[in-house]
Structure 1
Amino acid sequence: MVAPMHESMHESRHEAIATLAVDSRCRLGECVLWCEREQALWWTDIHAARLWRYRPQIGQVRHWRLPDRLGSFALCESGRLLLGLAKGLYFADPRRAEDVEDLPVQALVPVDADQSTLRINDGRVDRNGRFVFGTLNEDPRRLPIGRFHQYSLSHGLRVLDLPGVAIPNSLCFDLDGRGLYYCDSRSGRIMRAAYDSETARVGEPRVFARVDAPASPDGAAVDRDGQVWSAHWGAGRVVRYARDGHIDRSVQVPTSNVSCLSFAGPALDRIYISTARDELDDAELDLQPEAGGVFVASVPGVRGLAEARFDDR
C-alpha cells in the first residue's frame, strides 16, 4: 500500500458548494441514508432520539420519536429498518407507523450491556447483508474501550478483532466487500483492514488517510469508482480520497460540524450531507443558522452506489 499523505500536502480546491435541503436543526444529525426503493432520505438526530425522513420529489419531511438515542441504522431487505439504539439492536417498520409520532420497535439483542458508558454509534451494512457498527465511550475521559461488532440473523452478534476506540466512525466497505474502512475520530486517521464477512475476521489495520486538526473524520461512504468520501467534522466539508490517501475532490458545506453523507437521487448523483448544532456556542450558531440541517450537492462525474441492505429474511 502506498504510504498515506496528510491532506495539507495535496489539498484540493472546493469543487462544489452544498445548499440547504432540509432545515431540520438537528442537535446531532447523523447516519444519513438513501432508500432507492422509496426515493427517500433517512437520518437520525441522535441526541433528540428522532428518526427523520425526507421525500425530495414531493418535499415531504417528517420524523418519529424513539425510545432511546439512535446512533445508526440500516435499510432491510424486507423494507423494515434495523435500528442501533443506544444499548441494543431493534427492528422497526415506519410503513406501519405513518399515523403515529412514536415509532414502535422490536428488541433483537442487547449490546455492551455490561459497559454503562458505551452506546452504539456509527454503523453500515457490509456487501453481504451484515450490519457492522461501533460503540462510543461517553465518559468524558474518552478511553478507547469501544468495540466494533458485526450482527446478522445467521450468526448473531460477533466482536471484530480491531483495536479499542473512543468514537467509532467512517465505517464503509470496498466495492468487493473485502476491505473495511473505519476510524476513531479522536485519532485523525482513517484506517483500512482486510475483512471477511462470513467469518467476521479482519486483517492488520493500516492507515489509509490522515485528517489534520481541527477537522476530524466522521461518517464515510464509497462511490461507484471505489473511492472513499469522508465528512470532516469541524471543517465544513466532505472530501474524496484518492487511492493513495490524498484529497482529490471536495464539497464545501456552510456549517462546520459535518457528520455524514449519502449518495442519493434516481441516478445516485447527488450527495446529501447531515450536520449538527452540537458543540457550537450561541455566537457560532448566530453565524451558522443552518447548522443541524441536511444539505445537498452535486459533483460532476461522481455517482454513488445503492445502500447495501441488512438480510432480515
Structure 2
Amino acid sequence: MDAGVQVALAHRSLLGDGLLWQHGGNRWWWTDVPAATLYAWTEGAPAPAACRLPDRAGSFAFCRSGRMLVALAKWLCVAEPPGGKVAPRHLALRPVVAVDPAEPRTRVADGRTDRHGNFVFGTRIEAAQPRAIGSFYQYSQAHGLRRLALPAAAVAGSICFAPDGRTMYFSDAHEHRIMQCAYDPTTAQVADVRPFAELADARPHGAVVDSDGCLWNAEWGTGRLTRWSPAGERMRAWTLPVPHPTRPAFGGAALDTLLVASARQGRTGRDDSGSGGSLFRLAVPGVRGIPDTLFDDDNP
C-alpha cells in the first residue's frame, strides 16, 4: 500500500460502488450492489447505517428537493429524504421511469449528475460473457429518458464531466481506455467521440474530476487510483491494498478529502483480500473536488 493511503472505514461490502459525499448531510454514501443495500457513513462513526433496497442499485444522486434519485437494476426511482439517518431496513421508493424494460440482459450501472442537474448513467450486461449491448442515457424532469449516441458498452462506467460540463468522460470496463466526447446537457447531443487515456494493464471503473480538471480513475484489477491531466497524460498513480477499487469521491467541508470505495469480490466471486470492500483515504494536499450538482427535480 502506498504511503498516504489509509483505511478510512473497514467494511466488507461485496461490491461497494457509487460513492458520493452528501453536502449538508456531511455523510458518505455508497451502494453494495449484490447485497441490494445502501449505506451512509459519518466519519468517526464505527459503522455505517444500512438500508435494504428492493433490488440492486448501480448508482444514485441527491436532488434539489432533498429527495434521492436511486437507479435500481431496471428502474429510476425517487426516495423521500431520509431524515437524520437512514432507516435500517426501509427506504420508500417510487418508480419514475423504466430502463430497457424489453432487454432482460442489462441493468443500470454507473451514473452521476452532469453540471446542469441531469442524471447521466449507463447500463451493463448481466451475462458472464461480455457483449457490448449496454447504453448511455440522460434523464431529466423536462425531457425524460434520452439515449446518448455513444458506442455500446459491455459495462458502462467512468462517467464524469469536465468543470465546464461540456466534456463527458466514459468507458467500457471491458476495454482498456477511457473515452471523451463533447456533451450538450440541454439537447443530450454528443459529438467528437475519441479516446482520452489508454490503460495498458488495467480496466477503468469509477471516475471523478477535480477542480483542476484532472480525472481520477479507479483501475479494476490493478488496485491503482490514477490521476490524469485534462490532456489525458498520466500524472500519478496510488496503489491500494485491494485489487478492485471501484469509485473515488471528494468530500468534506472543503472537498479536500478523497475516499475510494472497493469491492471484496472480483468477477470470479473469490474473496480478494481481508480489506476488500473498505473505504480508503488518500492524502492529496492542494487538491479539491467539485461539488456534485443536485438532480433538478424542481423542473417540470
Normalising by structure 2, report the TM-score.
0.94
CA-based RMSD of the aligned residues comes to 1.8
Shift of 1:282: 9.1
User: Which structure 2 residues correspond to residues 221-240 of structure 1 after superposition, within 5 A?
Assistant: 221-240=208-227
CA offset at residue 57 of structure 1?
A: 4.9
Report Cα offsets for 1:233-288 as digits up to 9, x if no partner. 11112111013322112222111100001001111111111100122779864xx2
Please report how far the alpha carbon of residue 305 of structure 1 lies from its aligned counterpart in structure 2 after TM superposition.
1.1
Instruction: Return the match for 1:298 from 274, 283, 291.
Output: 283
209, 221, 245: which one aligns with 1:258: 245
Q: CA deviation at 1:59?
A: 5.0
- What's the counterpart of residue 294 of structure 2? 309
Whether 2:184 is the aligned partner of 1:199: answer: no
Which residue of structure 2 lines up, in the alignment, with residue 37 of structure 1?
Answer: 24
Q: Normalising by the residue count of structure 1, what TM-score does the alignment of the two structures yield? A: 0.90
Structure 1 residue 114, shift from structure 2 partner: 0.5
SS in 2 for 1:95: coil
Aligned residues: 297
Query: Does residue 210 of structure 1 match 2:195?
Result: no
Q: Which residue number in structure 2 is paired with residue 157 of structure 1?
A: 145
CA distance in 2, matches of 1:140, 1:21: 32
- The structure-2 alpha-carbon separation of the partners of 1:261 and 1:246, relative to structure 1 and needing over 3 Å to count, comes to same
Give the Cα separation in 2 of the matches to 1:38 and 1:59.
18
- Counterpart in 2 of 1:136? 124
Whole-angstrom CA distance in 2 between matches of 1:283 and 1:63? 24
2:228 aligns with one of 228, 234, 241? 241
Q: 1:5 — aligned with what?
A: none
Q: Pick closer, same or farther for the CA change 1:187–1:144 going to 2, 3 Å.
A: same
Partner of 2:48: 61
Displacement after TM superposition at 1:34 (Å): 0.4
Structure 2, unpaired ranges of 5+: none
**C-alpha displacement of 1:36:** 1.8
Residue in 1 that maps onto 2:136: 148
Matches within 5 A, 1:161-180: 161-180=149-168
Q: Does 1:102 align with 2:90?
A: yes
Could you say what secondary structure the match of 1:274 adopts?
strand
2:239 and 2:190 mapped to 1: Cα distance?
Answer: 34
Which protein has greater RCO, CA pairs closer than 8 Å, 6+ apart? 1
Contact 2:36 2:53 (8 Å CA) reproduced:
yes
Asked if residue 275 in structure 1 is aligned to residue 271 in structure 2, the reply is no
Matches within 5 A, 1:46-125: 46-58=33-45, 61-96=48-83, 98-125=86-113
> Cα deviations across residues 54-93 of structure 1 (Å, max 9, x unaligned)?
1115556211000000001111112211001000100113
Q: Distance in 1 between the 2:293 and 2:269 partners? A: 39
Q: Secondary structure, in 3 states, of the residue corresponding to 1:277?
A: coil
Name structure 1 gaps, 5 residues minimum.
1-13
The 1:127–1:23 alpha-carbon spacing in structure 2 relative to 1, beyond 3 Å, is: same
Greater CA drift, 276-285 or 40-49: 276-285
Cα shift readout 1:97-148 (whole Å, capped 9, x = no counterpart): 7444122211100000000010000001001000000010112222111110
Distance 1:46 1:284 in 2: 16
Q: Is the 8 A contact 2:171 2:177 kept in 1?
A: yes
Letter in 2 for 1:300: P
Residues 122 and 135, structure 2, Cα contact 8 Å, conserved in 1: yes
Change (3 A) 1:210 1:17: same
